Chain A
Amino acid sequence: MKLLFRYPVMGRIPIICILLSLLSITAMAQTDADAIMMEKNNFCTGILYNYSSWKNYWEGTFKRDNANLGTVSTQMIGVMGNYGISDKLNVLFSIPYVANKVSAGQLHKMNGVQDLSLWVKYMPFEKKVGPGTLSLYGVAGYSFPVTNYVADFLPMSIGVRSKNISIRGIVDYQIKNWTATASATYVNRSNITIDRVSYYTTEMHYANEVKMPDAMQFQFRTGWRSDRFLAEAVLSNWTTMSGFDITKNNMPFPSNKMNMTAVGVGGKYNVKAADGLSIIGGGNYTIAGRNVGQSTSVYGGVFYIISFTHKAKEKQENTKK
């Protein structure tokens, strides 16, 4: 088997580009917070499909359903890629197409291409510590809307249009095949403009510009990984640093406080017959939230690794020996 990617020490397992549909109410796409790097000159790309839906949601802290929405569902198809500039430095992108609809009531479905996300990922540290290997990663990201989709039509809007800068730290520890990864992300979100000239939050604003609360994202994942398989459990949390609650029987607004905690499982299989090809799948379930839908999601995707230089391949082969 040719190895076109690397994982620290245990090294040789294909990349996972996991897309976690974290905020299904806004169908916000979150790309991977994993502890895997592409080797130099290798490019992993693939598509991922995610389906999420919710019937219950939290209006502030009040959990309810809404017969005028029924079940709100989001389908997302994302294209993503990860390129190894060096073994320790990767660049990544993702771009999703999102389609939202409701099963009851009159609100029109919405769909479109949402935000382009770009990341730079750097691994400054990788050492044997105790019985296993410790590695650290830093990820800087930027995302922005690439189409003129509507933000101010929640829960039908496919996104909230803010331009986000994210800074993420990842710690990974691995003993033999057992791994644990923890990450924390700060997301700075730009103001957005909406189609109306005034809006009410907890007070009146005579502006078409809306201040978006920044957010923190935490993730912990643990499981088993080998050259061919990966299985892990994931705990995720998204917490906005400010924002306001949806008042009773009101509509949601992009600058609402939106918090959620989800549990999930994820898996990956590297196809034996086709080198560089992997299949991933998994799901998430929201266990707590505020001003978001209690979503359940499933996803699946196919990824392939392309090596751009023969030289790089040779180098890897040599490394293996």
Chain B
Amino acid sequence: MKKIFFYITIVMTAVIIHSCKKDLNEVNLFFPALNPAKLDDNAGTWKPILLNAPDEFAVAAPIATNAPDYIAQINEIKSWQNKLTAAEKNTVKYWSAGAVLRWNEIMRELVAKHNLPPYQNADGTYPVPSAANPLAYPQFPFANPPYAARAYAYVSAAMYDALVAAYHYKKLCNRPAPYKVDATVNVLIPKSDLPSYPSEDATVIGVAEELLKLLFPGDQDFIQQKAAEHKNARIISGANVRSDIDAGEALGKAVAQKFVTRARGDRAGAAVGIANGVDLWKEFETNAVTKDEIPWISQEFPKRPPMLPYFGRVKTFLFDSLTMVTQIRPAAPPSTKSDQFKKELEEVKYYSDNYDRERFRIVSFWADGVNTPTPPGHWNAIAAEAFVKQNFSEVRWARNMALLNMAMMDAAIVCWDAKYTYFNPRPSQVDPSIKTYTGLPNFPSYISGHSTFSGAAATILGYILSSSATDFTNMAKEASVSRLYGAIHYRSDIEVGLVVGNKVGTYAVQRASTDGAGN
């Protein structure tokens, strides 16, 4: 009897040790401090996106490093450092991984939080989020994939332009970092020869503050708290004095305004396709019927209007609308009456009927559905993890993120244009016995958004990091086929989507090869 208890005790102890709760290994919290391999101190000469010139917005000349005001600012650093808490050290460590990186993560978090379709009204209609009243249900925005792609693009592009301007002024003003001026200042992050006025981190903060007001107007408390924490981290770490921060933040905000103006006029506001209670988007349905095709019909109950039907008319970054319609828009999908269509439908049915755990893993890994940062957010995470290993300077981080996200925003526009031009039904609409392994998106099938985003992302990332190009291509293929495995897309949707995405990506490559940044 005693023996039994002895064994039981041993087994239970082993079991308890085995399943004790561990803290999560959240990869982004292990990113090392950014220590750029190249200074990129000539980035002031790189080609901006919207700015006419790097000095379009003026930055006042900095005060001299022997001025009493400057010495007071040095003392601000020293007094922080004299009473450094563990929490402050952690904050410094967190932000030291990079400004563009961290604000990209914050944006992904905001997208995930807001990526929820509104719940229906009692009468079976759906409310539309209002930017004017962002905290009322349904909260603004509904950060679906097109919305997210556009948000990532504006913020990334503005960060790049603002940093081109900041690097221009850094070189011009040439004020060294506080620890170079006063050797008794501790420095808690890797030292740099880059002039510190205006602060590159604060430039990024200024852009984020200004643009996120427009894109996530209900989250100012969160954004301002992050901004304050980031600015403090720069001072506490000894990287910047207060006037570096102030000048950078002001420059970032000024440059961001130019992007805010563009965003207000890029036609995204009309993308929802409902005006004064009229479903303008029904024209797409009529168009499909006129062509004697089966039109897309919402499979949701109650029927939900399709996602952002006029997003295809949003102003692109990398090419003009004529190029889009004549050079990039794909040819029509197989007719819903064709044998090819029947064949492709059968293939979807096969994947629906034959559950496979590995295929499910792929579907799940790339699903990026509700409450996630969306497929463009996933590609931002992929890029971020790859870029961390490269030790890019802040301005190169921004440039690469801008290229990636402009490509994905334009991919969203091209993809949405195709979806509503052809208004093709989803497989489960045509054959209701097709059941899906992921949520069925509420918009037309052709071409696959995941495939278009992924094709564009893999192309530009493969250019930026040519040694990983094959990996990116394989990831894009897997993301693409995941939609067929999930039984929500036909083969034409995913294959054409990848090709179109790749094509969009080449416009980003074209820009990258001529922007003066080199590679």
Task: Decide if B24 is an interface residue (CB 8 Å cutoff).
Answer: yes
Residues of A within 8 A of B436 (CB): 106-108
Segment from B68-76, B194-202, B327-335, B365-373 that makes contact with A: B365-373
Task: Decide if B361 is an interface residue (CB 8 Å cutoff).
Answer: yes
Task: Decide if A198 is an interface residue (CB 8 Å cutoff).
Answer: yes
Q: A107-B436, A200-B113 are in contact. Are A207 and B371 (CB under 8 A)?
A: no
The A interface, classified by DSSP as helix, strand, loop or mixed, is loop
Count residues on chain B whose CB falls below 8 Å from chain A CBs: 54
Contact digits for B129-167, partner A, Cβ 8 Å, 1 yes 0 no: 000000001000000000000000000000000000000
Shortest Cβ gap from B260 to chain A (Å): 25
Task: Decide if A148 is an interface residue (CB 8 Å cutoff).
Answer: yes
Contact digits for A193-210, partner B, Cβ 8 Å, 1 yes 0 no: 011111110011111011
Segment from A232-240, A243-251, A277-285, A312-320 that makes contact with B: A243-251
Contact digits for A106-122, partner B, Cβ 8 Å, 1 yes 0 no: 11111000000000100
Shortest Cβ gap from A205 to chain B (Å): 6
Segment from B296-304, B393-401, B453-461 that makes contact with A: B296-304
Could you say which of A164, A190, A247 contacts B371, with CB atoms under 8 Å apart?
Answer: A247
CA distance A104 to B435 in the complex (A): 10
Task: Decide if A30 is an interface residue (CB 8 Å cutoff).
Answer: no
B364 near A249: Cβ-Cβ < 8 Å:
no
Contacting residues of chain B (1-59) with chain A, CB-CB under 8 angstroms? 1, 4, 8, 12, 15-16, 18-22, 24-29
Contact digits for A155-196, partner B, Cβ 8 Å, 1 yes 0 no: 000000001110000000000000000000000111100111
Residues of A within 8 A of B19 (CB): 163-165, 188-190
Residues of A within 8 A of B372 (CB): 196, 198-200
A198 near B435: Cβ-Cβ < 8 Å:
no
Residues of A within 8 A of B373 (CB): 198, 204
Task: Decide if A3 is an interface residue (CB 8 Å cutoff).
Answer: no
Contacting residues of chain A (112-163) with chain B, CB-CB under 8 angstroms? 120, 140, 142, 148, 150, 152-153, 163
B370 near A250: Cβ-Cβ < 8 Å:
yes
Residues of A within 8 A of B337 (CB): none
B26 near A205: Cβ-Cβ < 8 Å:
yes
Task: Decide if B109 is an interface residue (CB 8 Å cutoff).
Answer: yes
B24 near A209: Cβ-Cβ < 8 Å:
yes
Contact digits for B380-395, partner A, Cβ 8 Å, 1 yes 0 no: 0100000000000000
Contacting residues of chain A (63-121) with chain B, CB-CB under 8 angstroms? 67-68, 85-86, 89, 104-110, 120
Contact digits for B477-495, partner A, Cβ 8 Å, 1 yes 0 no: 0000000000100000000
Residues of B within 8 A of A189 (CB): 19
Task: Decide if B440 is an interface residue (CB 8 Å cutoff).
Answer: yes
Shortest Cβ gap from A132 to chain B (Å): 28
Task: Decide if A211 is an interface residue (CB 8 Å cutoff).
Answer: yes
Of A163, A204, A210, A247, most B-chain CB atoms within 10 Å: A204
Residues of A within 8 A of B21 (CB): 188, 190-191, 211
User: A: which residues have CB within 8 A of B?
Assistant: 67-68, 85-86, 89, 104-110, 120, 140, 142, 148, 150, 152-153, 163-165, 188-191, 194-200, 203-207, 209-211, 247-251
